[in-house]
Homo-oligomer: A and B are copies of this chain.
Amino acid sequence: MAGSKFAYVKKFELPDALLPNMFMVFRLDGHSFHRFSDEHEFVKPNDVRALRLMDHAAKSVLEAYSDIGLAFGESDEYSFLLRKSTTLYNRRESKIVSTLTSLFTSNYVFHWPTYFPDVPLRYPPSFDGRIVLYPSQREVRDYFAWRQADTHINNLYNTVFWALVQQGGQTTTEAHATLRGTVSKDKHEILFSHFGMNYDKIDPRYRKGSVFVRIETPEAPEVTTEATSSQPSEGIPKKAKKGKVPTTLELLHCDLIRDDFWEKYAHLLD
């Protein structure tokens, strides 16, 4: 064969299979989204259009990969939990990381006009991704708790910050100065006394982020999720679909830190 004398270069591709029987968390983050959100005039502190677009892109990934049972999103990041027994792409790290990041990105751009009908996409956004392995349920729970605690901290800060700027007339520099050294209670107090806002009444989407859970619905007529989506079944190993229990995806904005969620959806950590 013409190419055979060059084919030795293929030997430099080393195997990169991830350890078996480990939980895989795949997390992606927007690349330079500070600028991207400025250029597209995202509403501050939260742009519900942008968050819904993130959710849509995430749902497309969940629809394409049945081994993902749980996902959590906030701001410009999303985390996906793959079953510890998954054999997706033989657990090859680069293959999984790149394909999932690509599919998410593709959906983000593809569905942009649905969520931003009046805002043309000015340039193509990108995301980066990584996989982190966890040996036990405890660490997986704590991972999601860590992300949601982060959501809380950031959202509380941003909510007060933008209230000070948008309603309080402060410059951004002044608003940062106002908030320097304040603790959580102080921020609640500023919101309430100055702006009449009860933080706990704010849309839970902003306070808690977005949680997708996969629920088995054995009694439902066998309509695979793919059939009702614009996403063809390409991402799903064919044999994996045989005899699969139909599942549906639920979008929640609930607490992931306390036990309730994990007790109710215990199967997610199988």
Contacts and interface: CB of A to CB of B under 8 A. Distances in A.
Interface of A: 1-3, 6-15, 17, 19-22, 28, 31-32, 35-36, 39, 60, 84, 93-95, 97-99, 101-111, 121-136, 139, 142-143, 145-146, 149-150, 152-153, 184, 230-232, 234-235
Given A12-B19, A94-B93, A146 B7 contact: yes
A11 B20 contact: yes
A28 B110 contact: no
Q: How many copies does the complex hold?
A: 4
B101 A98 contact: yes
Nearest to A20: B11
Nearest to A89: B128
14 contacts: A1-B153, A6-B142, A10-B146, A14-B15, A31-B99, A84-B135, A98-B98, A98-B128, A98-B129, A105-B106, A106-B124, A106-B126, A110-B124, A123-B232
A19 B133 contact: yes
A12 to B, nearest CB: 5
Contacts of A106: 105-106, 108-109, 124-126
